[in-house]
Chains A and B, each alone.
Chain A
């Protein structure tokens, strides 16, 4: 029982990180129907920005987190303007291939400048070390911090999407971009805002992973990016609650598989679940079946 609880706690912190990444995927998919393969690499850039802020600039954790989020949101908007915007009217395959290209450029530019080796994050401040023991279940301060920050960011996102004018515009564009344009919404700006929000969350996830696992490298974005995408598909792509649900399920699943001693297989299990979901309910757990009109 304690083991199960312990794994649930671990799964919760991993799931929170996936959730932050998956939200960006799902928002971009909701608006552009694009699988943004470069999203995992924005998360990697976030981890590196945080690393440089904390080690070279000697900034505190929260300042670094904020700088990483701002840097990533600018990068996300830039990528959208340079690489995706010229392709607004082309096929989806062209968009996907561009996304893969952007992803390669980000990864290997970083490899070129910082080297492919693994770096470890600078020592953590006092308040992040230590842990609580609840009757055999160990909760690290770091895990509380990760879940706390993630939940705060997700609530903030939810408020932006549901309560603000920009959020209303985002929802309108994702329902029907043409009609939204007729209503006087600047669709291009809204798409940029979506990329900025998603990328900021990915940047935060990068810093959190850096302090949690204490190792970063330029190719670290590939796997978590794919898994966050699996999470988004699992919950129903395009839906924000779906991405959350999917991320926590994928995170817990992964920690449980690792806990049973099969950690080599955990990636395979995640992808097997993905294929199963695609076969059984391709719109995801929370997705509705929309008939295509001819």
Chain B
């Protein structure tokens, strides 16, 4: 069967359409501050989950320290933006935080990814704890009270650019040769090595890129919500991100996007029962792992092209949709 691919322009058109619709809704006041805050949470979670999915879902390496990278990004961006409260300060801070996180990811990943098994999980967990304790004790991070009064830089434009940009970049990385190597390593590291894939390189690349985007999400968090403190980025935050990835499917980017939206809605509903929410999250993890270990979507993707395959089946003139 000939694969139907939506043309590049049409994909871009759908994205731009989504962007414009939300923009109009914000202007007309339908999307109020509360909904906008939820949207920001969703978008940040999408970036976090996609980047963790790259490490855990696509490359098969278990990382428990994603909140640590988020923390680095959040603090760096906040500090830079507070000193240079301009757009350039914001963008520079985001990039600086992401690069620092990537370097730390490289330092942690290179030795531990050499080992097989769960060592990365332990090392990343330890790293995130160390980062949290350091942020609690440094002078310039203002200790347990955290940073207050960070200028708000993130609006819908930035949110859209960074969220869509991150997902598209990660998706394209996965379609490239290094991305295929990552998936090969997940499927069978020994087999991949024997056909000439540099497994260590693939794993490290995934980890570093994941760290980069994790920090980016952290930076957006701090420049939207005004306040950050070390406890936000604890072990539970890492678990939160992991739950999104698992729920959406280990190895499905669109799954991560859908799960991020779904979980934000669920937690809005369960807001008054926050303790119960964590019990439910725990049960969700156990039940999904027992009955569907690959996550809800598995490694299937829901793409615009796939939607496009459904559309021609509807009664329509074929030459309208053919590229």
Q: Interface residues, chain A, CB within 8 Å of chain B? A: 33, 35, 83, 86-87, 90-98, 100-109, 111-112, 116, 222, 226, 229-230, 233, 264-265, 267-268, 271-272, 274-275, 278-279, 282, 292, 294
Contact = CB atoms under 8 A, between A and B. Distances in A.
A275 B119 CA distance: 9
A97 B246 contact: yes
A28 to B, nearest CB: 13
Given A96-B118, A97-B289, A265-B133, A108 B278 contact: yes
A264 B130 CA distance: 11
A34 B127 CA distance: 20
Contact of A100 (B119, B239, B283): B239
Nearest to B245: A97
A21 B300 CA distance: 41
Contacts of B282: 100-108
Interface of B: 56, 60, 62, 108, 111-112, 115-119, 121-123, 125-127, 129-130, 133-134, 136-137, 190, 235, 239, 242, 246, 250, 275-276, 278-279, 281-286, 289-290, 293
A97 B117 CA distance: 14
A111 B129 CA distance: 23
A109 B279 contact: yes
A257 B285 CA distance: 37
Contact of B133 (A94, A264, A274, A278): A264
Top 10 A-B residue pairs of the complex, sorted by shortest distance between their CB atoms: A101-B285, A104-B282, A271-B126, A105-B282, A108-B278, A268-B133, A101-B286, A94-B293, A279-B111, A98-B289
A139 B112 CA distance: 41
Name the residue in A108, A111, A272 with the highest tally of chain B Cβ atoms < 10 Å from its Cβ: A108
B199 to A, nearest CB: 13
30 contacts: A33-B117, A35-B118, A92-B117, A92-B118, A94-B289, A96-B121, A100-B242, A100-B282, A100-B285, A101-B281, A101-B282, A104-B285, A105-B279, A107-B278, A108-B279, A111-B275, A222-B235, A233-B122, A271-B126, A271-B127, A272-B130, A275-B112, A275-B126, A278-B112, A278-B115, A279-B111, A279-B112, A282-B119, A292-B116, A294-B190
Contact of B56 (A35, A93, A102, A282): A93
B236 to A, nearest CB: 8
Name the residue in B112, B117, B126, B279 with the highest tally of chain A Cβ atoms < 10 Å from its Cβ: B126
Given A103-B282, A272-B126, 6 more contacts: A94-B293, A98-B286, A268-B129, A268-B133, A268-B134, A275-B108
A97 B242 contact: yes
Contacts of A108: 275-276, 278-279, 282
B123 A274 contact: yes
Name the residue in B117, B276, B284, B286 with the highest tally of chain A Cβ atoms < 10 Å from its Cβ: B286
B122 A278 contact: yes
Contacts of A105: 279, 282-283, 286
A275 B111 CA distance: 9
B125 A275 contact: no
A104 B281 contact: yes
Contacts of A292: 116
B62 A96 contact: yes
A230 B60 CA distance: 23
Name the residue in B121, B279, B284 with the highest tally of chain A Cβ atoms < 10 Å from its Cβ: B279
Contacts of A106: 282
Contacts of B190: 294
A33 B121 CA distance: 13
B309 to A, nearest CB: 31
Contacts of A230: 122, 126
B171 to A, nearest CB: 22
A97 B285 contact: yes
Contacts of B242: 97, 100
B279 A112 contact: yes
B190 to A, nearest CB: 6
Given A86-B290, A100-B239, A105-B286, A35 B122 contact: yes
Contact of B119 (A103, A264, A278): A278
A226 B282 CA distance: 18
A107 B133 CA distance: 22
Contacts of B118: 33, 35, 92, 96
Nearest to A95: B289
A45 to B, nearest CB: 14
A90 B275 contact: no
A265 B117 contact: no
Contacts of A83: 286, 290
A95 B118 CA distance: 11
A116 B286 contact: no
Contacts of B129: 226, 267-268, 271
